[in-house]
Structures are given as structure tokens and as C-alpha cells.
Amino acid sequence: MTARATTTTRARTTTTTTTTRAAIGRRRAREPNARRRGDACVRYNTPAGVGRKADDPLGVFRLEYDISMDEAHRPKTWKPTVTVAVSGAAGQISNHLLFKIASGSVFGHDQPVVLRLLGSERSRQALEGVAMELEDCLFPLLREVDIGIDCRKVFAGADWALLIGAKPRGPGMERGDLLEMNGAIFVDQGKALNEVAKPTCKVIVVGNPCNTNALIALSHAPNLDPRNFHALTKLDENRAKCQLALKAGVFYETVSNVVIWGNHSTTQVPDFVNAKIDGKKATEVITDQDWLENDFTPAIQTRGGLLIKKWGRSSAASTAVSIADHIRNLVNPTPEGDWFSTAVLSNGNPYGIQDGIVYSFPCRSKGDGSYEIVPGLEVNDWLRERMKKSEEELTSEKGCVGHLVGEAHVDVPDAGCPVDLEDTLLPGEM
């Protein structure tokens, strides 16, 4: 048995019986449902309930290890363990992201993590496969893997919640249909976070339409700080940096100060006005204004759609990398003078964007998971007009889901939500 297998732990789950190797061996003999995988001792509790305890914390199955060596033997330089809950954990993005997190490359090589993975009945087998692969990687920092289908159990005690799972838009589906369908998921997950996550939990919403899903989730989680809800626009920022670097003939790392304003949609505004290349204004390095306005801008706005056409599915690996980058942006201090993009609650922002929507801004962090919106960027007429359009789109989306965020539903045919949804959720259910 490897050292890591014996030290992997469920120590933080108080309801779980801890087991020694000998005890597991004895249990294997009496429980046909107990299986051996490699040297890690794992018990699967089937949905039918074989071997499941009444207090089974997650509802599908759980992994149990010998925890006796854990606290005493882990390096003293390690930080206290953080618990990261991930929805859509059996999906494509998660399949890349979870392994990065478990390796230590996201939260740091001195940061042990617990992964709590949310799936559904339909993804149960796949989720078991994900958990098995995570174990087989022997990541020392991965202290525990739990999987389940009840977000109230999976989100319990979460320090971070990465909300990736969402229904993808199908053929013939209106934007309003997607808003409505996924909105319902984020109502429930927001309520669950409110009930069981740590009040300091940082939430990153990836499932689309991510800005409005984040707004819905935070509306249902008054116990959490609304500023700690993010929607992912880091992928768009990375895409913009890449295209600016390619055009300028420089390496990506020399491109800084790129912000995406607004919605993670085709109205997003990739800002070349404030961007820098090798410390100079990007517009002084790339003097082709027509390219910046008419090639670069739409290319970034529509890159996700183009990728779907090429791949037959949406970007997964690059999205996972950008989620990792987003977390790193929050847990490391932002280099002096730079900023990063994240969509956050607009309340009190210094750019005149209306309050009450989740809008992407230039932000910086002290490295403690918090952030501030960077004031004072140049907003010329070209930017302002487009920023306004994205703001209007987000306002329309909010109107479509007004009944999900505690406000009136607004019929906005342009946003694809002409049907009256007012009575689908009663105020008492909010």
C-alpha cells in the first residue's frame, strides 16, 4: 500500500466511520459490495442501499480510508485543508479541471484539498469513474474525494464552489428556455450554498448563461457575501491575450491589462484600448485600428461558437485552464498595475454600470480570495457604446428571470423570453 493511500482521509466528515486496513479487510469478507481498487480501500454503496449507512453523507457512495496516519504525518508546511465543491463533475470541463486542482497547481503546492463532486443519477457511473481516476493519480494533496447527487450534502462546508454543471442549449432552444431551465438549477444550488456552505465560500459560476446564473445563485444565498459570486470571463480574457500576442508577434506573457467587460456572450467587450503589450499601449504596438475593431473584437466575441463548430462540443480544456487561472488570480496577489477579468455583482462599481447585474470588470486581488474593481480605466466612446449594449443584454436576461431573483418578470422578446413565466415560481417559494 502506498503512503498516500493510507494517508488519504475522510477525517473531516464527522458522520463517517473511520476504518483501518484490517477493519476494511474484515468488512470485505462480510460485504460482497466492498471492492478493492489498487491499494486504496474503497467501499461503494449502491443506490439500492447495499452497505449504505443511514447517515451516509452524500447519498450515492463514499470512499473510506485509513485515516490514522493523516494529521500526524502530513508536512507541517501545509496549510489547513480547503474543501472544493464542483457541480457537473462528470462533464468535460471537470474532467480537465479536477486533476489540475488535485495536483496542487491551482491552489498551491502546500494546499491540501478535499474534492466534493456533484453529479446526478444519470452521471453516477461516470462520477465513480472520475473518483477512481483521481485516486489512481496518487496526488498527495488530495486528501478526500466525495461524490453525491444531493447538492445540500455535497456543498456542506465548502470553501469554494465551482458551479460547472448546466444543461447545454439544444437545437431550436431559445435563450429564454435556457435561462429558465438552468435558472431553476441555480435557484436550488444557491439555496443549498446558503444552507450548508461556509459563509466565506467563493462561488465561480461557469454553466451558461453564467452571468445571470451567478445572479440567480447569489439572490438565493443571503448568508454568503454576494461579492464572492463570480461568473467566468477569464476564458475570454485568455482568448483576447492570445490573439493580441499573435497579431503583435510576441509571446503571450508580454500581453497584460486585458479586460473583458460585460456578459459572457457575443456582446462582451474585449478591451484593446487599455491593454498593454510589453508595457506599452497595445494600440501603439498594433496600429491597425480596423483589425482591432472589426477582426479582433468579433473574433473574441464569437470564438466559443466557432470552437463548437470545429469540435462539435464546447471548449473544455481551455475552459478548465481558465477556471484554474481565475482561482489563481484570487488566491495570489495581482501584480502591481495589472488586473484580471471576472464578472461580479455590479453594485457600486466605478464605471456607471447599473447595480444588480453580474457584469465583467477589471479586478485585482490581494491574494486572500477577495478582489476590488480597478477604477480609472479609459472608457472611450467606442468602448462605452459596447459596454452599454452588454449591460442592456444583462438587464434583459435579468428581466427574463425576474421571478427567479425576487423581482418582476419582464417580457423581453429580444432576449428570447416572450412567454409569461410570472407564475412558475411563487414568491413564497423564493
Ligand X SMILES: O=C([O-])CC(=O)C(=O)O
CB of 240 to ligand NDP, least distance (A): 13
For the annotated catalytic residues, the residue numbers are: 264
How distant, in Å, are the alpha carbons of 44, 209, 237, 252 from that of 97?
24, 20, 18, 22
Binding track over 115-144 against ligand NDP, x by CB under 6 A: ----xx-xx---------------------
Q: For 56-92, give the DSSP string.
A: -SSEEEE-----TTHHHHS-TTPPPPEEEEEESTTSH
Instruction: Check binding of 23 to ligand X (CB under 6 A).
Output: no
207 binds ligand NDP (CB under 6 A): yes
Residue count at the site for ligand NDP (CB under 6 A)? 26
Compare residues 143 and 326 and give the one whose CB is closer to ligand X.
326
Q: State how far the Cα of 15 lies from the Cα of 317, in Å rounded to an integer.
A: 36
Determine the size of the site formed for ligand X (CB under 6 A): 6
| C-alpha to C-alpha distance for 324 and 36, rounded to whole angstroms | 32
Q: Is 92 in the site for ligand X (CB under 6 A)?
A: no
CB 91 to ligand X: min, Å: 11
Is residue 181 involved in binding ligand X (CB under 6 A)? no
320 binds ligand NDP (CB under 6 A): no
Of the listed pieces 84-92, 221-229, 285-293, 397-405, which binds ligand NDP according to CB under 6 A?
A: 84-92
Interface region with ligand X, contact rule CB under 6 A, candidates 6-14, 307-315, 345-353, 356-364: 307-315
How do 82-87 and 113-118 pair as beta strands? parallel
Check residue 235 for interaction with ligand X (CB under 6 A): yes
Under rule CB under 6 A, residue 96 binds ligand NDP: no
Rg (CA), the chain: 23
57 binds ligand NDP (CB under 6 A): no
Answer yes or no whether residue 304 interacts with ligand X by CB under 6 A.
Answer: yes
Residue of 253, 242, 233 lying closest to 341 (CA atoms): 233
Burial readout 43-65 (b: 16 or more C-beta within 10 A, e: otherwise): bbbeeeeebbeeebbbbbbbbbb
The residue among 253, 292, 258, 251 whose CA lies nearest residue 274 is 258
Binding site residues, ligand X, CB under 6 A? 208, 235, 304, 307, 314-315
